[in-house]
Amino acid sequence: MRFLKNPLILALDVDDKSDAMKILDHVGDLVGGIKLGPRMLYRYGAELVTEIAEIAPVFVDNKYFDIPSTMVAAVKASFEAGATLVTVHALAGSTALKELHKLEVELNQIRPFKILAVTILTSWDQSSMPASFHSWSVENHVRSLTQEVYSSGLRGLVCSGHELEYLNYPGLFKVTPGIRLSTEQNTQQSEDQKRVMTPKQAIKAGASALVIGRPILQAHKPRETILDILESCT
């Protein structure tokens, strides 16, 4: 896995940098990558990406969705800050996706880098998608968006574990959020995540990497929890 140290990406979903660094001091050596989103990046900026990239590969999860030139510029800026993985919205369309693929090829001449296209958010299910989406199922939306992503040349995707089994495109790197550690957690702790799955289920279904936050951040023994997850993925 040339982009990550192992399949586990820690979602560093906290608000304070000192809290984040305490977590990474404790478990940063175990995780395959570290996901940073807007709640941290809008506070601390590109310097945070650069700093944390010294610990493990950084996944900048800002889900860029704009006109093609703006998306290209945002992805390039994330790369320059030190990101290894960056998310964009597949809904941006084929023109933007093709331009992003050109950029990805260019940046990979410098170091390994992957653009991940987000299909349908794991916080959506059939009832909570926008009304204009309701004529299609979640599955059909994901299938269609994945086809558009793949046709653009990009080979990175973000989707829930529930879509993995029918996204069997050669060379597709599939990153799966909405991971919970047990069936009990799936029902009790999924909160804003609707389409969830355990680590073992997701890897078996075809996930290349897993994004896991709360089950690790809220664990009494985070290191042991990470080691258990990695063992379940083998």
Give the single-character DSSP code of 137: -
Helix (H, G, I), strand (E, B) or coil at 3: coil
63 in catalytic set = yes
Residue 206, Ramachandran bin (φ over 0: left; ψ between -120 and 50: alpha; else beta): left
Contact 20, 58 (CB under 8 A): no
Tell me the pairing of strands 209-212 and 173-176: parallel
What does the alpha-carbon distance between residue 208 and residue 131 come to, in Å, rounded to a whole number?
Answer: 31
Residue with token string 């309701």: 134
User: Which amino acid type is present at position 211?
Assistant: V
Which of 17, 22, 35, 63 is labelled catalytic?
Answer: 63
Contact 88, 63 (CB under 8 A): yes
Residue with token string 């009304």: 131
Among all residues, which ones are annotated catalytic?
A: 63
